[in-house]
Structure formats: structure tokens, C-alpha cells
Amino acid sequence: MATFNVNAKEVKVDVEPEMPLLWVLRDELGLTGTKYGCGISVCGACTVHIDGEPVRSCVLPNSAAVGKKITTIEGLSQDSSHPIQKAWVQLQVPQCGYCQSGMIMAAAALLKSKKQPTDADIEEAMTNICRCGTYVRVRDAIHAAAKLAA
């Protein structure tokens, strides 16, 4: 039995320790906002926060997250009021939308660590892959969110 703090709630699941955190979140807890993309920690669709840091959950054994604070896209804000979510909507960032929850989680972590990120900061932090190529809108939304949060 593993105990996690997910989106500010304590949960217990009976899973093998090596099961990736992504599958615990999606299959055991029903939090399907976190997406499976590549399964090898490259694309970032599975990005969640663990103790405030962005982590690719597809390759992380759930045992590594036991007792830590996990935040998924569902827990970023209850009403989509996080500045990055507002900017994403305002600038119509998503195209197909599949990668966007991971993008938003990575961007939220960036804004937490750098209140006014430069283009270089964004390029360095945002390593998520978007097949639709919305990178310019992602960058613009991060800048807009920084202004909203200020």
C-alpha cells in the first residue's frame, strides 16, 4: 500500500512499487489530465509537480513519490484561475491540445521559479514537445501569465 498526497488530498493505492506514477494517477486515481505521450520522458505530456518541481511521470516509479506532494493539472487550480491557465485561454495556445496539460505544468513551475522569465529562460525550461508547433504561442502565454501574476 502506497500513500501519496495528490492535489492536497491523501490517497492510498495498492500497486507495485515500480509502476510508473503516470499510471497510478490515470488508472488508479482517475486523474486523466496527465497524458501519456512517449513513455521515455522525452515529450513532457506526462509532466506533474512533485514537491513543486516539474517531473516526467511516465518513467518515475511511484515508490519515488511516496510521501511527497504531487500536483497534477487537475490540482493546479480548481477553477482554471491560475495565471498560466488564463493566459493559455486568452492567447488560444492549444491546437490539438494533447500536450497542453504537460506544457501548462512545466510553464507553471517556470513562473514559480522565475517571476519574469526571459525568452532564453523559457527556451531552457520548456523542453516539452508539441506536434502542432505552438511554441510561439506558448512563449507568448508565459510572458502574459507573468504580467497577470505580477
pLDDT digits (tens, 9 = 90+) for 71-118: 999 999 989 999 999 999 999 999 999 999 999 999 999 999 999 999
Please give the grid coordinates belonging to residue 61: 516509479
At residue 48 the predicted structure's pLDDT band, cuts being 50, 70 and 90, is very high
What are the pLDDT digits (tens) for 35-46? Answer: 999 999 999 999
d(CA 9, CA 95) in angstroms, rounded, equals: 32
Q: 83-149 has which CATH code?
A: 1.10.150.120
**Where do you find CATH 1.10.150.120 in the chain?**
83-149
pLDDT at 139 over 90: yes
Supply φ then ψ for residue 54, to 5 degrees: -70, 135
What pTM did the predictor assign? 0.96
Cα–Cα distances (Å) from 20 to 29, 81, 93, 106, in that order, read 13, 29, 29, 19
Q: 2-76, what's its fold?
A: Ubiquitin-like (UB roll) (3.10.20)
Amino acid type, 11: V
129 grid coordinates: 514537445
Angle at the Cα of 111 from the Cα atoms of 101 and 73, rounded to 5 degrees: 25
pLDDT, residue 31, reads 98
Q: Where in the chain is the domain with CATH 3.10.20.30?
A: 2-76
**pLDDT at residue number 101:** 96
